[in-house]
Amino acid sequence: MPANPEPSKKDAQREMLRHAVATIAYRGGKALRGVPENFSRFEAGNGARTPGTILAHICDLFDWALSIARGKEEWRNSKPQSWDQDVARFHSTLAKFDEVLASDVKLPVSVESLFQGPIADALTHIGQISILRRIAGGPVRGENYVIAEIVSGRVGAEQAAPKYEFD
């Protein structure tokens, strides 16, 4: 038997899901840091959600993902807190979800279901926050994310510095 056996397909899928969560932490963290003053309440018009409402929704998505992963699916709609509180909640809920994914706990749903639901939705909303930052006068610098140092399990506010940002 080899010293480092190939991971099973199921383990590889779970690790890919963990990498997706780390990607959300990296890209989301970048979009959430250094926002313009009063950005949380910025209104783009036409009934668009405010950044604070979107961030609270992203946090709700990961509370929901965690409840699904624990086999007790529950949804809630949270009201935005202060920007800093919701940024802390963002990283905290990612950490709790990643902890379950890193464990041996049997998931009651497929990793594909978790990806197509809360993970994909969160990526969409991080993009919305980035667009709203540009409209509000505080754009996020583009980056070559292919070479970014994104590591499974690194889901806190402390992330690697960008390797190559675009002007």
User: Taking phi first (over 0 means left), then psi (-120 to 50 degrees means alpha), and beta for anything else, what does residue 14 get?
Assistant: alpha
Spatial distance between the Cα atoms of 84 and 86, rounded to a whole number of angstroms: 5
More confident residue, 1 or 16: 16
- pLDDT tens-place string over residues 55-83: 999 999 999 999 999 999 999 999 999 99
- pLDDT tens-place string over residues 19-49: 999 999 999 999 999 999 999 999 999 999 9
3-state secondary structure of 28: helix
Q: State both tokens at 34.
A: 């250094």
Question: For 39, which DSSP code?
Answer: G
Spatial distance between the Cα atoms of 49 and 41, rounded to a whole number of angstroms: 9
The CATH class for the domain spanning 9-135 reads: mainly alpha
Q: What is the pTM of this model?
A: 0.92
Q: How confident is the model at residue 5 (pLDDT cuts 50, 70, 90)?
A: low
Average pLDDT, the chain: 94
For range 136-141, the mean pLDDT:
95
For range 119-134, the mean pLDDT:
98
Domain boundaries, the chain: 9-135
- Could you tell me where the beta strands, DSSP code E, fall in the chain? none
- pLDDT tens-place string over residues 142-167: 999 999 999 999 999 999 999 888 87
